[in-house]
Structure 1
Amino acid sequence: MTGKQLSDDRRAILSRLLQITKLSNREIAWVLGVHERTVQRRRDEFEATGQVKKHKDVSKNAEKLKPQHVERLLEWHKDHPDALLGDMQRFLQTCCGLAVSVPTISRQLRKAYGGRVLASGRGARIRSRKQREAEGRSIALELQQGVANGDINRAQDAAVELYHDQRQLAPLQEILAPQHELRQQQEQEISAYHVAGGLQYQAGSDRQQLRYELDLNSWNLRIWGVAASGFLTDSYNLFATNVILSTVSFVYFPYDKWVGLVINLFTLLGSVLGQFLFGYLADRYGRTRLYGIELVLVIVSTIGVATTSSGYGDLSFLALFTWWRFVMGVGIGAEYPLSAVITSEWASTSSRATMLASVFLMQPVGQALAQIVGLLVLLGQDRAHGLQEKQCGLDSLYEEECKQIIDGTWRIVIGSGAVPALLAIIFRFFLYDCGLYTLEVKKQPGNAFRDTQRVYGAPPTTNGIALSPHGGANPFEMEPMPQQFSMQDLHTYFIKDKNWYYLLGTAMTWFFLDVSFYGFSLDNRGTLADLWATTGRADLNPSLPCWNSSLPNGTSLVPTWKTDGLPTWQTDATQPCNTIYDTTIAQTKQYLLTVSVASIAGSACFIYFANRIPRRQWLTSSFIILTLLFLVTGGVYYGVSHKAGAPATVVCVAICHFAFNFGANTLTFIIPAEIFPTCYRSTCHGISAASGKLGSIVAVLVVYGINSGYKSSTSQGLVFLLFATFMALGALYSWAYLPDVQRVVYDGPGGRRRLETKNLEELGEGHMRARLEGQVITMRDKWDDLKERIRRRRRLTGGGDQPPGPAEVDGQGVAGVA
């Protein structure tokens, strides 16, 4: 619109908007679709004359510039990149004999460059030198005031603006002398900050308007329902292992202890593959194109597991069962990055953490649901077939009939997992691709706004025109972005910009977390029975009430256990006379009281506190708390195991599960969905989640190895102490390699202090942005910063008050201190 006259309607709208003193030039420019400088000129005119006059239309001057003239000008511009508009005007006068206006040259240049000339950078060179120097002085003053007042954000904004034209730096040496070292560092870092994650920095109205429309909304039931239903399904199917392994072992593998290990390992390996593969594919092809495929895998594999058999003896039951659990693991793993990223991108900034935490709440709910469904099915089978009267597992009289009944029990439990998956797929028919992905990766702003408004509705309007307080007019489009997943962009984002630090932080914290979490939560039937035991292991001898059969014509199986050992389904060595029915009921009670109730309570509490606590710091703190809890739990276990005080260990373990979900377990799921850019968010979340599942594989192997190779009645105490080490490592990595996702703000001068969540666009700018905000990332820098703080404190306490250095404000470095 610049260089052309405003229509009568737009001049009338502009006159009304200029009378609203609260509206800035940026906001008015966005409403009218013109440049901010145009609004400022008209504002000056309006303040002087009280009206917005109709200007002369100079657009016809462009007819004087023929294509050959523009081509010649572009060739000359390549050789003289710092030429100003006046220089170009003189060049055309000399070489072509053309007398064209400066606005005409400006418009033709923008057209020639495909509308990709920024208002900064190349576009800055076509402004007058006098105007640029005046703007430079103003920006330098802002920078100086921002540093002097400790306002780091203001100083960074000014520094970014200042960087756009290097020639502005020349006349400002005297003003910026105290900050010379700081400015040099920022000049080197801002170039990377502009292209962090392959997303070039822009003040484009599209991204700002989309963020504005998303942030108008709060917690959204529709988005939560779509994501949570799938996550509930996956949690149910993953942790159904705790319900079915005893019954599967009872029917098919009564004395093979390694079978449960194989089934769990292949399920977790499938999860690793699903998380990595679908995380990448969701970034490459779109979220909703894949959202639902993982549930199809879960449904098909669920049916496959529930119908597994050995045929006429020519098929391996274990091989088929393990294969379908592997396929199910792929679907389960795929749900992690998809649900997290879709929830994160659809949520408003203020509700992002609570929505992600609400989705993750479905993990402990799914665990509990699997236990409850298993309990209900078992009670139904007992009522229908009289399992207790048949003494299943203890007597051989009804052995085949018992196996047939129990075989149907675990198949019903597994098959039930397809029901919530079917419901989740129905929900996903009504979800569109996230607006952020459509805009930033597909580069389709029209579709992005359309899909966003389909979910949230249209934003508020003024005179029929959508208004955004963040809007800033930008008649120039952004320059071409590096190609997603190209070697250049991957190298720039992860290596050159050092964002691999973030990926290392999320991957390692999730790895160390899952070593302990899955060591407690997956196939922990024997562990829980050991923790609940108040007596020692029972001796298998004729004094046992089940040594002889209580059924007419029955034969007790217990005497054979003296030579063959306890069967694998009999997980409580202190109660050898429990039938498979009694054992399964006891396992369900122990799991619900020790794990599920505490985990659900922890997740619910985190939802309430998600925006009230500094999440990155709380992640580190929760790892430290868990380290101490594991040490305490291990000590308590060694003191009271297999004694009357054993419930004390159970209480400690329940507190551990509460702490898991109130902190580290939930946050390792949330933070990777926040700190990466849109083009790599799902991939990085998938890699982080896959690292966690690798940790769970380590946990399963460690627990199995300790239980098999360490012949001690208190071997579980060693597991507690070992897991404490992993928690300490998790605290170290979360402290050193993860950025803050919130900032501290004050409600007015001297107002209340509160935490404000950063939006995805800020966090997606990566390590360079964090450095400019004063955060310290990496172990070495954290350690150096810690030593510097200690040295400064000693200097201040020992040598009296000393004024801060040029790069210090209130004891904190602007660009080097967190």
Structure 2
Amino acid sequence: MFYRMLNVVTSARYETRRVRKQINVLQALDVAKTQLYHFTTIVIAGMGFFTDAYDLFSISLITDLLGRIYYSDGKLPTDAALALNCIAFVGTVIGQIFFGWLGDRMGRKYIYGVTLKLMVLCSLASGLSFSHKPKDVIATLCFFRFWLGIGIGGDYPLSATIMSEYANKKTRGTFIAAVFAMQGLGNLAAGAVVLIISAKFKNTPAYKADEFGQADYVWRIVLMFGAVPALLTYYWRMKMPETARYTALIAKNLKQAASDMTSVLDIEIPIEKEEMDAIGRQDEFGLFSMEFFHRHGRELLGTTMCWLVLDIVFYSLNLFMKDIFNGIGWFDDGTNMDPLEQTYKIARTQAIITLSGTLPGYFFTVAFIDKLGRIRIQLVGFTMMTIFILGLAGPYNYWHDNKKAHIGFAIMYASIFFFANFGPNSTTFILPTEIFPTRLRSTCHGISGAVGKIGAIIGVVWFVLYGQGRTQKSLLMLAGCNLIGVMFTLALPESKGMSLEDITGEIDEVQEVPIGSPGIDDGAEFIHSVVF
């Protein structure tokens, strides 16, 4: 009896939990208070996304203008329209895979600078052409937009990875979402620049005397303006230190990682010999290994499929907004309208949708991502997008025949973008940079994003080749894509409030700590409990 009581008392006293032992420099990042360097990183990384969105979405605002200027019937041929809308996405697919892979091999910072240079040069070159012959103009524009797409593609995984590896675990989602929200501002800026430039030119005496000659300057200025925000942030990108997670876990240089983070966190970070040994013992399985397949194969399938179906919907509704609205009689017959007046009205419609639906969606994600979690927001977003798209497709004849209902159509259209951005458009960007190991993080994000851009290409091909006059069927197809997104979202893990190393299991070193010990957070994620 006495020994039984002694065992109970001893068991109670020595009940322990095995907790993951985090590297000091990474622990410092995980628990760091929000500081100026966090906001600086958001702005620097976010301006890349501002430029990405501006370059990708501005082309849809000027394609009709190109048709009016260079073709006698006032319309771009189908092959030219398909090439202009697709070519940047083809480059983006290549850039996301290639630069994502390089980011894990050569470092995030170095490759970050390369992608920015490429975006600046190709944005400027997109406004140039070797002659005024239609085929030469389109060919030159496609050539430079292809390389521009490669630079944009590289910016995706690197911006996301850098922000996730700098952020603390409690507000990481907010910071990454804030970077991605710059996409909405870039979209708005594209509409605003087109509005300003087209309004400026169409009121000049020179334009009234030679409208097509002056209109030729408009699309060139619009495209070349994309170099400005990227150029402004180049110096600051090069001043950023390499992320501590890359330096510590891939380059295996803890001293340099601690030194870099000390300079931005303004704290002392000790280096222990045990940490060096722990890093040396980490698994080094590759992307195509069975170990990766067992540990992360389901997650990679989930992130790629969700991004694929999301981009089919998101870019179809963005790039062909003019055609969808024209299908219900929102715009007058463009052939009877002044070229710049037509461009002005298209840009104005996009700006209204962006202000009323797109931007609020991004801001809601920033505000609630670390409260509601990624998976919940993605599920709600896909579901609500489905409901609103069906609301447009079901009574399509009503929207078409009743001009008084056009405002209602626009409100529902804007609501789709609200739930896209307060939903899968943001979370598909955030999740791949949190749930994969550091040495494969940029690569897996690049693969996920590349498959997404293949979805954008699918959407463009469908609308250009088959969607003309089939808006209702196209909308029903997009609703089906959202339902597929709901299914694959269920395969993804929630990453809210967790350290990146706890999510991926990279640091396998554990320590046994008595319950209630100082410094052990009762709400922390423990591996398991044992009782002696």
Q: 2:436 aligned with 1:676, yes or no?
A: yes
Please show how residues 272-351 of structure 1 align to structure 2 within 5 Å: 272-310=93-131, 316-351=136-171
SS of structure 1 residue aligned to 2:438:
coil
Maintained 8 Å contact 1:528/1:590: no
Q: In the alignment, does 2:239 pair up with 1:420?
A: no
Q: 2:240 aligns with which of 425, 431, 449?
A: 431
Query: What TM-score comes out, normalization by structure 1 length?
Result: 0.57
Q: Tell me, what secondary structure is at the counterpart of 1:617? A: helix
TM-score by length of 2: 0.87
2:265 to 456, 465, 472: 456
In structure 2, the CA distance between the partners of 1:607 and 1:476, relative to structure 1 (3 Å rule), is closer
Q: Which residue of 2 aligns with 1:517?
A: 314
Greater C-alpha Rg:
1
Deviations 1:338-375 (A, max 9, x none): 10000000111112111111111111110110111111
Change (3 A) 1:293 1:596: farther
Q: Which residue of 2 aligns with 1:530?
A: 327
Q: Secondary structure at the match of 2:116?
A: helix
CA 758–472 in structure 1, closer or farther in 2 if over 3 Å, else same: farther
What's the secondary structure of 2:394's corresponding residue? helix
Q: C-alpha deviations, 1:635-662, integer Å up to 9, x for none?
A: 2433222422222211111111111111
User: Counterparts of 1:459-608 in structure 2 under 5 Å?
Assistant: 459=268, 474=274, 477-478=277-278, 480-481=280-281, 490-495=288-293, 497-531=294-328, 533=330, 572=331, 574=333, 576-608=335-367
Identical residues among aligned pairs (%): 27
Unpaired stretches in structure 2, ≥5 consecutive residues: 1-6, 510-527
Structure 1 residues 689-736: Cα deviation after superposition (integer angstroms, max 9, x where no partner) = 00110000111111223334xxx5xx212222111100000000001x
Instruction: Decide whether aligned partners of structure 1 residues 607 and 531 sit closer, same or farther in structure 2, where only a CA change above 3 A counts.
Output: farther
- Quick check: 1:636–1:648 contact (8 Å CA) kept in 2? no
| Cα shift at 1:208 | 3.4
Three-state SS of the structure 1 residue aligned to 2:370 is coil
Give the alignment partner of residue 665 of structure 1, picking from 425, 431, 434. Answer: 425
Deviation at 1:575, TM superposition (A): 6.0
Aligned residues of 1:673 and 1:685 also touching (Cα < 8 A): yes
**1:321: how far off?**
1.3
Match of 1:704 in 2: 464
Q: Which residue of 1 aligns with 2:492?
A: 738
8 Å contact 1:309–1:315 — kept in the other structure?
Answer: no
**1:276 counterpart SS class:** helix
1:217 maps to 33
Q: What does residue 718 of structure 1 align with?
A: 473
Q: Please list, as runs of the form range in 1=range in 2, the aligned pairs for 1:42-441 lying within 5 A after superposition.
A: 142=15, 154=17, 157=18, 203=21, 207-218=23-34, 220-253=38-71, 254-258=74-78, 259-310=80-131, 316-385=136-205, 387=207, 390=208, 401-441=210-250
Shift in Å, 1:668: 0.6
Partners of 1:340 and 1:473 in 2: how far apart?
31
Among 447, 453, 459, the alignment partner of 1:687 is: 447
Residues 694 and 289 (structure 1 numbering): CA distance in 2 closer, same or farther, change over 3 Å? same
Query: Which residue does 1:727 correspond to in 2?
Result: 482
Secondary structure, counterpart of 1:477 in structure 2: helix
The higher relative CO (CA closer than 8 Å, separation ≥ 6) is in 2
User: Cα deviation per residue 1:740-780 (whole Å; 9 max; x = unaligned)?
Assistant: 113xxxxxxxxxxxxxx1111111228x99xxxxxxxxxxx
Aligned residue pairs, count: 496
Structure 2: distance between partners of 1:138 and 1:261 = 71
Give the distance between the partners of 2:303 and 2:426, measured in 1 at CA: 12
Matched residue type, 1:406: A
Aligned to 1:316, what secondary structure does the other structure show?
helix
When residues 214 and 741 of structure 1 are mapped into structure 2, their CA distance, relative to the original with a 3 A threshold, is: closer
Identify, as 1 or 2, the structure richer in helix. Answer: 2
Contact 2:309 2:455 in 1 (8 A): yes
Please tell me the residue identity of whatever aligns with 1:520: L
How far apart, CA to CA, are the structure 2 residues paired with 1:314 and 1:376?
26
User: Counterpart amino acid of 1:317?
Assistant: V
Q: Counterpart of 2:517?
A: none
The CA distance in 1 between the partners of 2:410 and 2:350, in whole Å, is 11
Quick one: which amino acid aligns to residue 670 of structure 1? I
Change (3 A) 1:583 1:475: closer
Residues in 1 aligned to 2:276 and 2:164: alpha-carbon distance in whole angstroms: 29
Unaligned runs of 5+ in 1: 1-133, 144-153, 159-201, 391-397, 460-465, 534-571, 743-756, 770-813
Deviation at 1:675, TM superposition (A): 0.8
Whole-Å separation in 2 of the counterparts to 1:475 and 1:760: 17
Q: Which whole-Å CA distance do the structure 2 matches of 1:289 and 1:309 have between them?
A: 33
Which AA in structure 2 matches 1:363? Q
Alignment of 1:10-49 (within 5 A): none
Change in 2 beyond 3 A, CA 1:209/1:434: closer
Tell me, in whole angstroms, the C-alpha distance in 2 between the residues paired with 1:231 and 1:314. Answer: 31
In the aligned structure 2, how far is the partner of 1:685 from the partner of 1:139?
46
Letter in 2 for 1:602: G
Structure 1: how far apart are the matches of 2:362 and 2:29? 29
1:531–1:649 Cα contact (<8 Å) kept: no
* 1:386 CA drift (Å): 5.7
Specify the code of the residue in structure 1 equivalent to 2:227.
A
In structure 1, the residue corresponding to 2:336 is in which secondary structure?
coil
User: 1:706 and 1:648, CA in 2 relative to 1: closer, same or farther beyond 3 A?
Assistant: farther
Letter in 1 for 2:492: L
For 1:512, give the aligned amino acid: V
Does the 8 Å contact 1:367/1:596 carry over to 2? no
- The answer to whether residue 501 in structure 2 is matched with residue 761 in structure 1 is yes
Q: Is the 8 A contact 1:203 1:474 kept in 2?
A: no
Aligned-residue offset at 1:482: 6.6
The 1:626–1:509 alpha-carbon spacing in structure 2 relative to 1, beyond 3 Å, is same
Matched to 2:438, the amino acid is T
